[in-house]
Structure 1
């Protein structure tokens, strides 16, 4: 709508369905920018769905003879229309209505983007020249990922000593005919923006004014593409609902809003709400800062205000852990506050279907401050090569009995050159650490800090290898951590102190971890870290519940589904999983009687009910398995009750028929494993092979490799050679 005049107290109908690219049916809400200007005085415009009574809310507060803007998600009536009412009793109001997007009441034939609200943070500022343009690149800033983003949501604010217009649009596209923001001499102005990105990931801002203007961009969320690493929330519009009416907030005071369970917003499974915030005739100037409860206040603008004027602003507000939102009056005078909500953001459905943990199962928990665990297994993997024809180094990590986190690097052809470096800094760690490789090849390590949190550290450069800073990913976990790759992004997994399964995703390749998300699976053991295995359609997770039953589920872009129970109760320890072509998996666990058990997915991806016993060995620890690159057979090693490592493997590829268990250490080797062995595949100058490592009671790392392995129908295990790796440096 262009320049439509709404009479005093009058209502107009805006036809939404079938207009400007919006579907003719099935539309739940429309994102519209409403620009309103009073002819003889100020007042308010109310926006709401057709077919319902006018609510006591404010969509935009308009001044006299100047256009105020608000971008708002408005629920669409059953007839495809929305209503606009001029609530002023003395002045007509002239309005423009521009569409910026829409949501559907049911999934469409083409998947749309989903909203990820973030804690407000400043993207930056930009000075746009007079009658000119500037480009803004929001990706990778203020909580917005560096890829997988279709649009950025941000508050655009500024002030000038002249009049003009601002237009925002995707870089590389023609300038549209609408206006994002009007600015006037000496006035503070702002508006919420859905900044659709150009193909270069940038947004263009054009200044239709005679002087340059400096604008501030404060991120409030982003729209994730359907192919993004993590699925965002869907937008569920409601009939506009008043949360707060004329509350006085003192100077420098904070008011807390609790939207859950109010006005059509559910009591749970909500990540945020879309709010309209109005400050009515304050006596001074200042800024309202809106942020999740329980977090520190940001240096961002939600609504900026000046003396003797009313201001309204919209934004998607992320909820705190307690489901509430803080509004801070950052000014030297009290304000009068109204808060309305127009939509909520429904978190993606996640959790398990299928067998659940037995009722009454108690969850194990760990103290928030733990003691070092001296004999946890080592983590090993081979990094990608740094150049064509080169071999990737072997990366090793473990924590020792005094809380040091040791990182080792080894040439796969010269293991005697292994170099160990303590990388814990001033902190202490426990449990088996996790190693992952960023999309750009830099090593990432995650470890359980003695405080209870998982800490993350990534190399600043791969060659020469140099570490960046430690990052504390706040929120205590009960289990240790594991990490795997989904597409080009890493995802870590752990069980929190309450027994709930959590994921820690990168939202884009090489990005920092954003924070733990809950996956809707509870009642798990904290004694065992989840295991994550890449498969064709996501990550296959294996985890132990508090009753000792092994369970599995599929993780895909922030959600889990299809949970199945794999065992009876009473199991403990860690699982090991190998992958066969076609993303078929075989899992190995230690049974309740100490025997090693296994089962394999069938052609439809399901695991059989029964376990197969692997030989007669009674194990003292958890198994570790690999598919031998040389023979294609599945090989297993495990610590026995005799303080020796034992080995078995298939007699024929994929047969599930096993050789007799045999000692996997040379006869003259007197080293006793104090940790469970870790088997791994790697590539050396002579080709692909596999080996295993453990540590002794004196923290001496030991390395073993098979000799004489062939493709023949071998009935006996290969012989093994072994050697001590260089020791880690002594503690200082």
Structure 2
């Protein structure tokens, strides 16, 4: 099957575009004077529509004591009381900031000191004030984590592979934003650029004088996902690389934040922070930053340290700091360093003084990261919160056929369910020998409830998601596919009210659940085979927690189906972390789970249990719209939720459901695609009593493509049934079913 590719993000204001080139080429700014710097039309930037520039400034004091500060700000406004870079004699300090551009396309650099200063400034990228012709990357701030330390040889280079490290996904990344810090007694320069690019003429970090120095760097990745660091110095130098964010490509699995520049403003003015102490910054609602809808802010931090040296660590409030460098400092010197700061759950940022004595602290903000709108407009009735449930012994079984481990082989059938005491059972069977089914308890020391979700990673390893008795969804992925061996359980750490489902968008998996308050959330992989990063609120409220959302791959994303608290079926399109095209499909009063089949052209047919117990269906038309009216599928009154599929043998849609007499009944189309249904018939050739709703599934066996359904009895024993003599020519005649008991699960211990 050809993989689907969801359309990339549309052009939007605030998206990122990479350039690199000079803006100021070694110019002296006299004490107290201001230099106007033209930005638009320079260094590869457009002549109009530039909202902000990522400007890397290098400054060296020339007269007097050689110390002071530069203040950078957009033209057309009064000089703010902020700091952009502190400078000194005999050494170039560097700082990269995202700076708002004035309406005339200029920015200003004011030398707010009594010493002349020599300045270089280079553009390292820009954002737009309006949607451009093409979409650009969007930004994800990260809690700072160390990518690693590298030794860059004298007059040599080293390659760095940041993907999959320090919170950076393993794909869908154009640039990584990180702090580079190091120390050397010998002077030199470090230059960062793509692995397949040419050596630029500017510098990312000057080092020497045995000073611990740092600068924020935007590392553009080459086609191999790496960037290069070149050392223009006579001795090797070791540097630490601490990721603080990354830019996601327009085709990444999840869309990030846009960059919204503001006129620089002061948040903290000369605060005292003791050794080992912390200071909490609250940027929301301050200096042009909105009170909500913000994922992070771009801060510039200035400090003075009177005794010894050390580092400041910046991290989301409510989290634990990592061994990273945000701003370094030396005794009796003022330092400035910029960093994108991810906000904590309370909207705040913590700064830790990891030095040995008290510091004085100033904090300014230059931009914020606007969280993308995830949901559809409109509101729903408020939901009722649901407490975490006890184990549910008779939830349906999840079944699918894994991809073949080798060319010419058949994929293994994978089964999963939870039982009444919280065990999570995983079964594997050769489709040519269903009696080979082997059950393995994979719950470890934890307990689970509800129907688990099974999905395949892009590399073929199986992933299971299940609802832990603690309330959180937990994830476990095979360490190896063949031989099959499980890795560790991972708690995704957010309580959910409904059980969880999963589906694939491009090469990445996305899971969905409803929280206890009735809001719909997505749990995405940000790149193929990556761990799940964290839940995203999709902005859809008022949903039932008794019904799991359903996700179906379509050409332009994932089509979601969910039931609200009034019993109304609703739908929306999910793509790259957001939902759109929200619509209601039914009147109130419905219950149970939906089943959806996919026809060529990504046309969907949904089956549900109506308020009166009849099975109802409706199909999208050629424009993708569901009609207002439901069609009733025969006269059977169902006790459970239907399970439907397209028979790979006949091409007809088949449906099974549990009746009020605890028997499984079957119907199907008389002719392909007509929606004309055979009479319901008993589909059990034995006297087994189902304790769960049936699960119908397609698979490839020794005789070719076919389908079956399974249910479990009151003793958790699995029964499997399959149609015989099914052809496309049969009309009113139903297929004959045969069945068998599958091997029993191991006894509880």
Shift of 1:462: 0.5
Q: Which residue of 2 aligns with 1:64?
A: 89
1:337 partnered with 2:361: yes
- Please give the residue correspondences for 1:663-678 in structure 2 after superposition, counting only pairs within 5 Å: 663-666=682-685, 669-678=686-695
Give the unaligned 5+ runs of structure 1. Answer: none
1:444-477 per-residue CA deviation (whole Å, 9 max, x = no partner) reads 0000111111111111111000111111111111
CA separation of 1:719/1:713 partners in 2, compared to 1, >3 Å: closer, same or farther?
A: closer
Q: What is the deviation of 1:424?
A: 0.6
Determine the C-alpha separation between the residues in 2 that align with 1:567 and 1:244. 54
User: Does 1:301 find its partner at 2:321?
Assistant: no
Q: Which residue of 2 aligns with 1:250?
A: 274
Moved more, 389-398 or 341-350: 341-350
Counterpart selection for 1:707 from 680, 701, 724: 724
Q: 8 Å contact 2:305–2:358 — kept in the other structure? A: no
Indicate the residue corresponding to 1:385 in structure 2: 404
Equivalence map 1:192-271=2 (5 Å): 192-271=216-295
For the 8 Å contact 2:305–2:357, the answer to whether it is kept is no
Q: Helix, strand or coil: the match of 1:56?
A: coil
Q: What displacement does 1:362 show?
A: 3.8
1:99-498 counterparts in 2 under 5 A?
Answer: 99-353=123-377, 356-357=379-380, 361-368=381-388, 370-498=389-517
CA distance in 1, matches of 2:430, 2:295: 47
SS of the residue corresponding to residue 635 of structure 2 reads coil
Secondary structure of 1:681 counterpart: strand
Q: CA deviation at 1:671?
A: 1.1
> 1:138-176, CA deviations, whole angstroms, 9 ceiling, x for partnerless residues?
011111111111111100001112211111111122111
- 1:364–1:527: 8 Å Cα contact kept in structure 2? no
Deviations 1:601-621 (A, max 9, x none): 011101111111111111111
In the alignment, is the contact (CA less than 8 A) between 2:386 and 2:517 conserved in 1? no
* 1:475 match: secondary structure: strand
Q: Aligned match of 2:742 in 701, 725, 728?
A: 725
Separation in structure 1 between the aligned mates of residue 85 and residue 537 of structure 2, nearest angstrom: 36
- Residue of structure 2 in register with 1:695 after alignment: 712
Q: Partner of 2:547: helix, strand, or coil?
A: coil
Q: What's 2:652 paired with?
A: 633
Residue aligned with 1:616, SS: strand
CA distance in 1, matches of 2:144, 2:614: 53
State the partner residue of 1:17: 40
Q: CA deviation at 1:417?
A: 0.7
Following superposition, the deviation at residue 323 of structure 1 comes to 1.1
How high is the TM-score relative to the length of structure 2?
0.96
1:18-57 equivalent positions in 2, closer than 5 A: 18-39=41-62, 40=64, 41-57=66-82
* Distance across 1 between alignment mates of 2:121 and 2:185: 27
1:530 aligns with 2:554: no
Whole-Å separation in 2 of the counterparts to 1:713 and 1:726: 33
Tell me if structure 2 keeps the 8 A contact 1:631–1:711. Answer: yes
Specify the SS of the correspondent of 1:610: coil
Over residues 352-407 of structure 1, what are the superposed CA-to-partner deviations in whole Å (9 max), with x where a residue is unaligned? 14x652xxx34133324x31110110000000011111100000000001100000
Counterpart Cα distance in 2 of 1:712 and 1:545: 40
2:611 counterpart of 1:611: no
2:36 matched to 1:6?
Answer: no
Q: Provide the secondary structure at the position in 2 that maps to 1:140.
A: coil
Aligned equivalents of 1:686, 1:115: Cα separation in 2: 50
Q: 2: distance between equivalents of 1:595 and 1:254?
A: 62
**Partners of 1:626 and 1:256 in 2: how far apart?**
55
2:118 corresponding residue in structure 1: 94
Superposed CA RMSD = 1.1
Partner of residue 20, structure 2: none
User: Aligned to 2:591, what secondary structure does the other structure show?
Assistant: coil
Deviation at 1:340, TM superposition (A): 0.8
8 A Cα contact 1:282 1:310, kept in partner: no
Give 1:713 deviation, angstroms.
4.0
> For the Cα contact (< 8 Å) 2:145–2:323, is it kept in 1?
yes
8 Å Cα contact 2:386-2:497 kept in structure 1: yes
Aligned residues: 724
Distance 2:639 2:69 in 1: 74
Structure 2: distance between partners of 1:57 and 1:716: 81
**Is this contact kept in 2: 1:625–1:636, CA < 8 A?**
yes
TM-score normalised by L of structure 1? 0.98
Partner of 2:19: none
Structure 2 gap ranges (5+): 1-23
**SS of alignment partner, residue 25 of structure 2:** coil
Question: Any idea what SS the aligned residue of 1:574 has?
Answer: strand
| Superposition deviation, residue 258 in structure 1 | 1.2
Structure 1: distance between partners of 2:373 and 2:390: 37
Note the 1:642-653 alignment, pairs <5 A. Answer: 642-653=661-672
> How far, CA to CA, are the matches of 2:339 and 2:348 in structure 1?
15
Write the distance in 2 (CA, Å) between the matches of 1:455 and 1:320. Answer: 22
1: CA distance, partners of 2:547 / 2:145: 36
Q: Any conservation in 2 of the 1:362–1:547 contact (CA below 8 Å)?
A: no
Does the alignment pair 1:597 with 2:616? yes
Partner of residue 554, structure 1: 573
Distance 2:353 2:719 in 1: 61
SS at match of 2:434: strand
Q: Give me the whole-angstrom Cα distance separating, in 2, the residues matched to 1:519 and 1:124.
A: 34
User: For residues 431 and 513 of structure 2, what CA distance do their matches in structure 1 show?
Assistant: 30
Structure 1 window deviating more from structure 2 (322-331 vs 672-681): it is 322-331
- Cα contact 1:372–1:431 (8 A) shared by 2: yes
Structure 1 distance, partners of 2:477, 2:595, is: 26
Task: Name the SS for the 1:416 alignment partner.
Answer: strand
